[in-house]
Amino acid sequence: MKVCDRMKKKLLFLITCLFFTHILVVSAEGTCSYKEKAELSKEISSVKVEYEGVKTLMDSTTEQPVSGDELNPNLGPEEGYYYVHSIRILIVNMPENVWVEVTNDYNNESKEFEYSDSQDGVITINHDGDMVTSVTNYTFNFYALSDTDCDGELIKTIVIKVPRYNYSRELPICRDNEKLETCKEYVTWEDEGQSAFIERAERELDSLTKKGEKKTKKKENKAIAFVEENKNRIIVILGAVIVVGSAVIILKKIKKRGKSPL
């Protein structure tokens, strides 16, 4: 009986030790304080994600980009050249004590970057090929590095929508209406085919025409209202102008007669 009691006590002691050891391990792993996380958040607050369109002129014979010295805005398919469009995504002001995981919903690709992958704090990601034909959402998750007490902690998330290149803008309806939103180089709506694109452009043109007509009508109504409100003043002013004008004409005639020889 005593042996059993001793065994029970030993077992209880071992369980208690394991329990407190587990607590200590968990506490050691979770040492990221609110203060340090706040400092990391402050440091990463200046991080921005931007994108810009890139237009590269290619030689159809060599399939190589044309250098800056040869670049000519008038070169095109007839001269044996064509353009390749892409988007350059920039992570600006990348801190040294975090790393970023970049994912997108086009191909679910995941990439990781650190400050060492940057050039003066700027990380460049090329969004090109077939990707440029689709609107894509990018997610940037910034985590603390192992040289901080917040190793692996998520510090900040940035989500952006990257537009697609609008190849339909080369259709005739856009050649005379380049300023239409529908005809912009990069758009955030998916390609629905040429027929749908033309319908979209025509709807925008109709809307702009109606707005222009409304503005013209509004100006006309304002002019009419002004005349109605100030007609008495206008009549007096016109009358004064006529009287003064008539007097000037009469005086000129009198002067001419005075100078005429007898």
CA distances to 20, 22, 229, 231 from 223, in Å: 87, 84, 10, 12
CA dist list (Å): 147 to 32, 36, 69, 94, 152:
12, 12, 47, 16, 10
Fold of 38-165: Immunoglobulin-like (2.60.40)
pTM of the model: 0.66
pLDDT band at 251 (very low <50, low <70, confident <90, very high): confident
pLDDT digits (tens, 9 = 90+) for 166-189: 999 989 999 888 889 999 999 999
The pLDDT, as a whole number, for residue 218 is: 45
Domain ranges of the chain: 38-165, 170-226, 230-262
Residue 126, phi then psi, degrees to nearest 5: -90, 125
**What would the pLDDT profile of 26-56 be if each residue is shown by its tens digit?**
333 457 888 888 888 998 999 999 999 998 8
Question: Which pLDDT belongs to residue 235?
Answer: 77
**Ramachandran angles phi, psi of 259, nearest 5°:** -85, -15
CB 123 within 8 A of CB 96: no
